[in-house]
Amino acid sequence: MSQAIKKEVPLTLEVFTAGIWKDNPVFVMMLGLCPVLAVTNSVINSLAMGIASIFVLVCSNALVSLLRNFIPRQVRITTYIIIIATFVTLVDYMIQAISLDLYNRLGAFIQLIVVNCLILGRAEAYASKNGVLKSVVSALGMGLGFTLALVMLGGVRELLGAGQLLGYQIFSTQFEPWVVMILPPGGFIVLGCWLLLINYIEQRKTAKLVTMEAASHCTVKQ
């Protein structure tokens, strides 16, 4: 009796880079927006949340991939949550040990990484179906893409909302900070502006490819 053997797709650079731009969890898939809008009022907060998410994402994906053949299908989601919660607890204690002030600024959003749909979704949709190395590489790319989005939002909001970047004064003392930028509505405004810019770039790129294809067809016909 012949049985079809599934061959795993080989590890390529695209597995890593997809999460950074093409499948960016924030700007493309719109995942994890709760911490994105809540903690990005400064670059430091954005970086801290991004690094914490990378750690949890990589470690949980690696463990889920290792145990994927031993976890019963009926309890897989519960098992994934327990695995993710374990690494979130480690991150929680590490941030408390490193900086209590940073921990207080991030508040409950560190614990909420447990239910971040990006991390749980990667465990269910990717790590449970692929090998450890590929799962770790994909998780690292997704984590870097998530961190990049956080920093892009945090940088704009801190610059316009406080006239600073990483605590250093950028604008002169005469600059009047846009207080709305460090408040929750500022997160929606900046996210919308970034989405508008990224979609514009993608549309221009698509239009350019269509034009090049049309030109190549015309050249061949002649």
Return the pLDDT at 6: 47
Q: What percent of the chain has pLDDT over 90?
A: 39
Q: What percent of the chain has pLDDT over 70?
A: 93
- What pTM was estimated for this model as a whole? 0.85
Using one digit for the tens of pLDDT, what is the confidence trace for 54-104? 999 999 999 999 999 998 988 999 999 999 999 999 999 999 898 888 888
Return the pLDDT at 21: 85
Alpha-carbon dihedral angle through residues 143, 148, 153, 158, given to the nearest 10 degrees: 110
End-to-end CA distance of the chain: give it in Å, rounded. Answer: 55
Return the pLDDT at 14: 85
Using one digit for the tens of pLDDT, what is the confidence trace for 161-190? 888 888 788 888 788 888 889 888 899 999
In the three-class reduction of DSSP (H, G, I as helix; E, B as strand; rest coil), residue 165 is classed as strand
Round the average pLDDT of the chain to a whole number and report it.
Answer: 86
Picking from 133, 162, 152, 140, the residue whose alpha carbon sits closest to that of residue 53 is 140
- For residue 94, the cross-strand partners are none
Q: Which residue has the higher pLDDT, 207 or 64?
A: 64
